[in-house]
Amino acid sequence: MSHFLQEWGVTRVTFEQDPEPIWQDRDMKVKSLCERQGVECIEKVSHTLWDPHRIIEENGGSPPLTYAAFNQVAEIVGLPEKPVPNPDFEGISLPVETDHDQKYGIPTLSSLGIEPESEEQASPCCRYMGGETKALKLLLSRLENEKKAFALDLSLPNQLYPDLVGMPMSLSPHLRFGSMSIRKFYWALRCSYAQVHPNSPIPASITSQLIWREYFYCMSVNNPKYNCMEGNPICLNIDWYNNEENFKRWKEGRTGFPWIDACMRQLVQEGWIHHVCRHAVSCFLTRGDLWIDWQKGLEVFDRYLLDADWSVCAGSWMWVSSSAFENVLQCPRCICPVRYGRRMDPTGNYIRRYVPELKDMPMRYLCEPWKAPLKVQEEANCVIGIDYPAPMVDHREASKECKEKMERIKNQCKGVPHVAPTNETEVLSYMWLRKNTVENIEESIHETCSHLNTVSL
């Protein structure tokens, strides 16, 4: 790094704030290196629409407790700044030497010791290309689609899988790595709505997904244990099952529920799945069917998702598993892996694409192939238990059991804050919840109080 700074005559480095501890650690190192080299360091907030610290300050020193409260505070803070051209970069061109790629080219994955885990991973149906040029093209086609939806007053979901030419439509990996500016995306969505409906106010739903991202960022800032259950002041300590075999079947897409398996296989092969798929598989793993720790699911998402984002991913897992946020006090309905699959994939094309064993299974049985008569299974060349697994749980039974457990936890939660405790009474109620796992209550109260002191929420 110091070699590059010198060779390129760098005098100023700008970087953006990120709440993830490893990036904060990296920033500290870069800053001290730059200081030693006499290079100026400028820290900007450009990865989020608003500075999370500003939101916290406006909310009286703690993060807004709910998504609705977040929106109210954001309204007070005002609309996010519009992107402006950066004069620092105008007219800049970098001379590229003939041996540029040799000296500075991106190393291959195998030179870093990373090999594909499967044939599908080695040649996936779609490839995400990095860089702002690609991201801007993607934004344009995305806006065209959105405009059609705005004109019909529809909220058009992104497609479940890349289009026929293998082009992904999702911008999330670009947002994650900064090759698409979040402010540009936000303002582009608002402007294209305004073009279609010039005389109407812009509905909040147009940008609501981006605001969820902001909310999770705001909740994670100042909380280094945000991606953990233990020591994370906003997360309930739930006694999840530790069942390695069940976890492995979920991870490998061998649950016997075609919709869940299609989602998990797409994730591992392509590094991206649609929000409805993320929701379905995370609910299935945790409070829906298997009652397995959300942190295990988070590890898998973190490994395979191209848009894996410390704040959003951990926040979403806590949300879906009812471990934090508003969901702690609610008992949301479990997702049925059969009915939901049928609703989301009415043609069956998605399941057939990622679970080819079932490609000839008639639509009627596609989401629950174990119900197909043996003759139908034989005709479809897919005998359940031989060519494709039988369902690993009885969903009705498993979800009933999970729901009862969740109800018990929620009853214990009555009167307990659903996010970080902010005073001593709340700490005491919080400890009540944790007493099943912490033997010495006094010690645990002390532990949580010190969290409150160290984690300045």
Ligand X SMILES: Cc1cc2nc3c(=O)[nH]c(=O)nc-3n(C[C@H](O)[C@H](O)[C@H](O)COP(=O)(O)OP(=O)(O)OC[C@H]3O[C@@H](n4cnc5c(N)ncnc54)[C@H](O)[C@@H]3O)c2cc1C
Rounded least distance, CB 349 to ligand X, Å: 19
SS3 state of residue 41: strand
Rounded least distance, CB 105 to ligand X, Å: 28
Q: Distance between CA 368 and CA 387 in Å, rounded?
A: 14
279: contact with ligand X by CB under 6 A: yes
Residue 204 in marked binding region: no
Rounded least distance, CB 73 to ligand X, Å: 17
Burial 204-231 (b: 16+ CB within 10 A, else e): eebbeebbbbbbbbbbbbbbbbbbebee
Contact by Cβ (8 Å): 50, 214: yes
Count the residues of the shown chain that bind ligand X, applying the rule CB under 6 A: 26
278: contact with ligand X by CB under 6 A: yes
Burial 430-439 (b: 16+ CB within 10 A, else e): bbebbeeebe
301: contact with ligand X by CB under 6 A: yes
395: contact with ligand X by CB under 6 A: no
Residue 214 in marked binding region: yes
251: contact with ligand X by CB under 6 A: no
Rounded least distance, CB 317 to ligand X, Å: 5
H-helix segments, 221-291: 244-251, 258-270, 275-283
Residues within window 128-187 making contact with ligand X, judged by CB under 6 A: 158, 170-172, 175-176
For residue 298, how far is the Cα from the chain centroid? 9
Residue 175 in marked binding region: no
Contact by Cβ (8 Å): 280, 340: yes
Nearest to 43 by CA among 12, 8, 80: 12
What angle do the packed helices 275-283 and 294-304 form, to 10 degrees?
150
Which amino acid belongs to residue 255? T
Residue 215 in marked binding region: yes
Contact by Cβ (8 Å): 298, 313: yes
Residue number, 175 or 457, with CB nearest to ligand X: 175
Residue number, 71 or 158, with CB nearest to ligand X: 158
Residue number, 5 or 160, with CB nearest to ligand X: 160
234: contact with ligand X by CB under 6 A: no
Residue 209 in marked binding region: yes
Which amino acid belongs to residue 229? M
Residue 210 in marked binding region: yes
Residues within window 193-212 making contact with ligand X, judged by CB under 6 A: 209-210, 212
- Longest CA pairwise span in the chain (Å): 77
- 34 burial level (CB within 10 Å; 0-12, 13-18, 19+): buried
Q: Distance between CA 90 and CA 3 in Å, rounded?
A: 25
Choose which of 74, 160, 263, 312 interacts with ligand X (CB under 6 A): 312
189: contact with ligand X by CB under 6 A: no
Rounded least distance, CB 381 to ligand X, Å: 33
Choose which of 31, 134, 254, 275 interacts with ligand X (CB under 6 A): 275
Choose which of 257, 291, 317, 350 interacts with ligand X (CB under 6 A): 317
Q: Distance between CA 166 and CA 168 in Å, rounded?
A: 6
Rounded least distance, CB 301 to ligand X, Å: 6
What are the binding residues for FAD?
209-216, 307-309
Binding residues: 209-216, 307-309
List interacting residues with ligand X (CB under 6 A): 158, 170-172, 175-176, 209-210, 212-213, 216, 274-275, 278-279, 282, 301, 305, 307-309, 312-313, 316-317, 320
